[in-house]
């Protein structure tokens, strides 16, 4: 079969590899949709890309079971449409038993190898895609699960002011989840076309840029009750603390790339009682919740898909995402 192999910096090649076979408790999944994630781009452009070369990236994947191995099937059958969860948690360690399975001490990072014609995964890591939900939409389940994890930590009373900084695919997922929670949502970005998409997906107000005066004018001079930062730039993170209201919260959703240091006046969290939360991956229930958000139309991802590529053009998909053209690039089996 065909698969994309990453050999090093900006060196992604399509090659013929052996077809996967299902072992005991495993399934072969024919891949129908695989999303390009910023972490894929960091692997693609990073100086350490060659350390484990060649390997196949891709972890935002949905497809159809083409083969089941011996042993437990988990209730799955050949032909089932499924989405893949790459994080295998034990459910028994200290972190899992206290509800923080995203930090599982025995975590198994299953290599989905999503930019290929097929992959093999344990059936325990599969979730059935509900009828009526496309495989393209289901491929957003993994990033949406990360968004759900962030929202579990954020107080968001009805009609509170939520500012989402960044209207890329992640920011637009946050926009819709916040809207579904009953928040008044403000979205800030530098690109007018992304703000237009944000408005079409339920943002009540948009700001071109992230100026403090603009935020204050929309929030009766108080600032946003919740600020969600989806841009991994230290300067943007620092600015978030000038935009948050007293007794509010700032969620640092994006990691910083390249790494940097953020200067923070400690009087802001102290005297203004501002909470600072982070977000890292997801727990299994977040993944299930994300699938339900997609199933019931509470989150619409169709407007986020700006480019579709065949597997043969996967390098073009990476370059498109690297250059921040459009919103989300998908590699799909049928064009």
Place of tokens 């497809």: 63
Model confidence pLDDT, tens digit, residues 216-265: 999 999 999 999 999 999 999 999 999 999 999 999 999 888 888 888 99
Asked if the domains at 2-145+282-332 and 154-278 fall in one CATH topology, the answer is: no
Residue 117 has pLDDT above 90, yes or no: yes
CA 233 to chain centre: 18
Distance CA 163, CA 226 (A): 6
The fold of the 154-278 domain, in CATH, is Rossmann fold (3.40.50)
- Over 70: is that where the pLDDT of 89 sits? yes
Handedness of CA 52, 325, 175, 130 (dihedral sign): negative
Long-range pairs of 215-218 with CB within 8 A, sequence gap ≥ 24? 215/163, 215/186, 215/188, 215/243, 218/161, 218/186
**Six-digit token string for 147:** 């968004």
Place of tokens 């730039």: 233
Specify the range with the lowest mean pLDDT, choosing from 46-50, 172-176, 184-188.
46-50
Residue 258 pLDDT: 80
Would the pLDDT of 52 be above 90?
A: no
Domain boundaries, given as residue ranges, for the chain: 2-145+282-332, 154-278
Cα gap 314→157, rounded to integer Å: 42
2-145+282-332: CATH, from 3.30.1490.20, 1.10.10.10, 3.40.50.2300, 3.90.180.10? 3.90.180.10
What is the token pair recorded at 78?
Answer: 């050949």
Candidates 101, 117, 110; CA nearest to 20 is: 117
Q: Report the candidate in 318, 322, 326, 323 with the shortest Cα–Cα distance to residue 34.
A: 318
**pTM for the predicted model, two decimal places:** 0.96
Tell me how far apart the alpha carbons of residues 293 and 300 are, in angstroms, rounded to a whole number: 9
**What is the helix (H) or strand (E) element at residue 175, kind and residue range?**
helix 169-180
């Amino acid at each position: 079969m065909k698969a994309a192999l990453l050999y090093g910096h900006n060196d992604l090649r399509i090659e013929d590899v052996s077809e996967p076979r299902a072992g005991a408790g495993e399934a072969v999944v024919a891949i129908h949709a695989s999303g390009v994630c910023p972490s894929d781009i960091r692997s693609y452009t990073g100086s350490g890309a060659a350390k484990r070369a060649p390997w196949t990236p891709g972890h935002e994947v949905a497809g159809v079971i083409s083969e089941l191995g011996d042993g437990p099937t988990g209730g799955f059958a050949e032909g089932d449409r499924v989405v893949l969860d790459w994080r295998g948690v034990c459910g028994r360690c200290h972190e899992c038993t206290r509800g923080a399975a995203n930090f599982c001490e025995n975590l198994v990072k299953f290599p989905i190898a999503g930019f290929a014609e097929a992959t093999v995964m344990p059936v325990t890591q599969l979730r059935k895609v509900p009828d009526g939900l496309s495989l393209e939409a289901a491929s957003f389940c993994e990033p949406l699960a990360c968004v759900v994890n962030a929202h579990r930590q954020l107080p968001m009373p009805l009609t509170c002011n939520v500012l989402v900084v960044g209207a890329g695919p992640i920011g637009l997922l946050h926009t819709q989840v916040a809207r579904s929670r009953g928040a008044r949502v403000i979205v800030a970005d530098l690109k007018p076309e992304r703000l237009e998409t944000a408005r079409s997906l339920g943002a009540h107000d948009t700001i071109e840029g992230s100026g403090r005066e603009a935020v204050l004018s929309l929030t009766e001079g108080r600032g946003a009750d919740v600020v969600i930062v989806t841009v991994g730039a230290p300067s943007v993170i620092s600015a978030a603390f000038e935009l948050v209201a007293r007794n509010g919260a700032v969620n640092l959703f994006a990691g910083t790339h390249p790494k940097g240091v953020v200067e923070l006046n400690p009087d802001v969290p102290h005297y203004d009682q501002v909470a600072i939360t982070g977000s890292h991956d997801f727990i299994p229930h977040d993944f299930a919740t994300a699938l339900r958000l997609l199933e019931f139309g509470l989150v619409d991802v169709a407007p986020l898909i700006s480019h579709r590529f065949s597997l043969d053009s996967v390098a073009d998909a990476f370059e498109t995402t690297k250059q921040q053209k459009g919103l989300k690039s998908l590699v799909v089996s049928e064009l």
